[in-house]
Structure formats: structure tokens, C-alpha cells
Amino acid sequence: MKTQPVLTQYSYRLSGLLWMYKQCIKTIKGHFRFRTNGAIVHLFCGGQLIYTDQYWVKLTSQVSISDVELMQQIAQKDQAALSGLYGRYGSLVYSLALRVLQNTQLAEEVTQDTFLDVWHHPDKWDASKGQLSSWLLTVTRYTAIDRLRKTLRRPETDLDEARTVTENDWIHDPLWQDGQLLRSLLVKLPIDQRQLIEMAFFGGMTHSELAAASNLPLGTVKTRVRMGLQKLKGLWQESTKE
């Protein structure tokens, strides 16, 4: 691994970390992250290890640039901050857009629109109402469903062939863990219930729209959605109480 000597001149205090962060996203335009392994810290930029030190004392997520700070920088039209935001949430946003649209081109357009919307209107996010990732995904889902309804293009992407990320920064995030737990529980539902639930959420369909799309009687759709969600809630409660 190549070490950049200039970075080692800086302490691992907040100022040094922020400097390295800015160097990373401004000059390399890469995704900055750090990992600790006991007393050793590794700093990565754009996937490359740029700094390591065994005298690491304590580094918690609070010294990382927070979402609020990042959004404040975006409000000041700092393009590096938007790049940093994309590095942090780009995969998450794109993944949801792709799941809804099942079309890579449309998913790219929705991802770009979502981040452009953040760039132009960062004040739409209210930190007191929830985490940035939750808000971004809510906006992404609405945007993608709107696009799905307007477009005549049909799904064309084989999701199995999409480049699934095997290792990601989200693996320790409680929200991500909850989502992945839910994904594992969904497959325990009868297929006819699961499909309707997924069509409702990812396709933005109501009971009547589900009935029309699936050629099922409305009453059958309602029963399956209700029973599926009740079962999912039971599984969810069981799993989260363990």
C-alpha cells in the first residue's frame, strides 16, 4: 500500500482528520472512511489505504464529518461536500432506485436527480425529523415510483447480474441491519403474499392497483396483503426481541 507522507504529519486529532478528509474528497474525489482494529487505525480514500498508525487512542464516529456538517457545506455550495455525500450514500440511493425501477439507466437518472435535488435544496432535510439516509431513501422511493409511472420503458435489468457490493460501510449501521433482517424475513412469507407486499412498497401500488396488476379479486389482494404484513410484523417482533 502506498502511504502519503504528507498526511502523517498531521495528528489524529479532529483537525488532522478533517484535513485528510478534505484532501481526500477535494483532490482525489474519493470516498473517505476509516476503520479501527484495536489500537490501529486505517484511513482509506477512494478505496486506497492512505494512512495507518498503531498509536491510535480513540476515534469515534463523532469526529467524522457529520451529516449535518456535510449538508451545511452543501448549503454553502461546496461541491466536495456533495461528492462526499455521494460517496457516503450513493450506493444506498442507487440500490433502492434500481430495486424500484429494475432498469439501470432509469436508476442512474433517479440517483442523479435525487442528489441534484439535495444540491439545490439542502434545506429540505430537517435533522430533527430523522436521519439523512432515511430522508434520502424516502425521496428516492417517491422519485423512482413517479418515474416508474411515467415511463413506458419496461424492466430490463437482471438484478442478479448487477454489481452487488459484498463489503460495505453500512454493515454496522442499525438501520441497514434492520433492513437486511427484514429482507431475510420477507422470504419466509408465502410467495403470493410477499410478491404483493413488494409490489405495494417498491411499486407504490394500492389495493386496487395490485388487483389490476395481478388479475386477482380485490378481496383476495386485501387478505393476502393483510395476512402477509401481520405475519411479517410477528416475525419482526420475534427477531428484534431476541
Partner 1 sequence: MEQIDQSSLCEALEELVPAYGLGAADADERAFFEANLVHCPEVAAELAEYAAIKAALHYSTPLVSPPAGLENRLMAAVQAAPTTTTPMLPVPNKWTIRRWDVRTLLTAAAILLFIASNAFWIIRSIQGYDQYQHTEHVSSAEQAQVLAVVGSGRSKLVWLNAVNKSVPLPPSATLTCDPTGKIALLYVKNFPVTPPGKVYQLWMRHDGTPINIGTFKVDTAGTNTLIFSAPLSINTFDSAGITIEPAEGSPQPTGEAIVRGALTY
Residue list 153-182, contact with partner 1 (CB under 8 A): 159, 162-165, 168, 170, 175-176, 178-182
What is the smallest separation between the CB atom of 156 and partner 1, expressed in angstroms? 15
Q: How far apart are CA 193 and CA 216, in angstroms?
A: 12
Q: Which residue lies nearer to partner 1 by CB, 12 or 125?
A: 125
Q: Which residue lies nearer to partner 1 by CB, 5 or 47?
A: 47
User: Hey, which residues does 40 pair with through a beta bridge?
Assistant: 37
Give the rounded distance of the alpha carbon of 119 from its chain centre. Answer: 17
What is the smallest separation between the CB atom of 129 and partner 1, expressed in angstroms? 6
Q: Which of residues 177-236 bind partner 1 (CB under 8 A)?
A: 178-183, 186, 197, 200-201, 204-208, 210, 222, 225-226, 229-230, 232-233, 236
Q: By the 8 A CB rule, do 162 and 99 touch? A: no
Q: Tell me the C-alpha to C-alpha distance, in Å, between residue 215 and each of 201, 219, 221.
A: 18, 12, 10
Q: Which of residues 92-151 bind partner 1 (CB under 8 A)?
A: 92, 94-96, 98-99, 104, 108, 111-112, 115-116, 119-130, 133-135, 137-139, 141-142
Contact residues for 211 (Cβ-Cβ < 8 A; gap 6+): 217, 218, 220, 221
What is the smallest separation between the CB atom of 168 and partner 1, expressed in angstroms? 5
CB atoms within 10 A of CB 22: 17
68 binds partner 1 (CB under 8 A): yes
Contact residues for 182 (Cβ-Cβ < 8 A; gap 6+): 232, 236
Q: Which residue lies nearer to partner 1 by CB, 154 or 167?
A: 167
Q: Which residue lies nearer to partner 1 by CB, 42 or 99?
A: 99
Q: Which residue lies nearer to partner 1 by CB, 12 or 44?
A: 44
Q: Which residue lies nearer to partner 1 by CB, 15 or 168?
A: 168
Q: By the 8 A CB rule, do 211 and 217 touch? A: yes
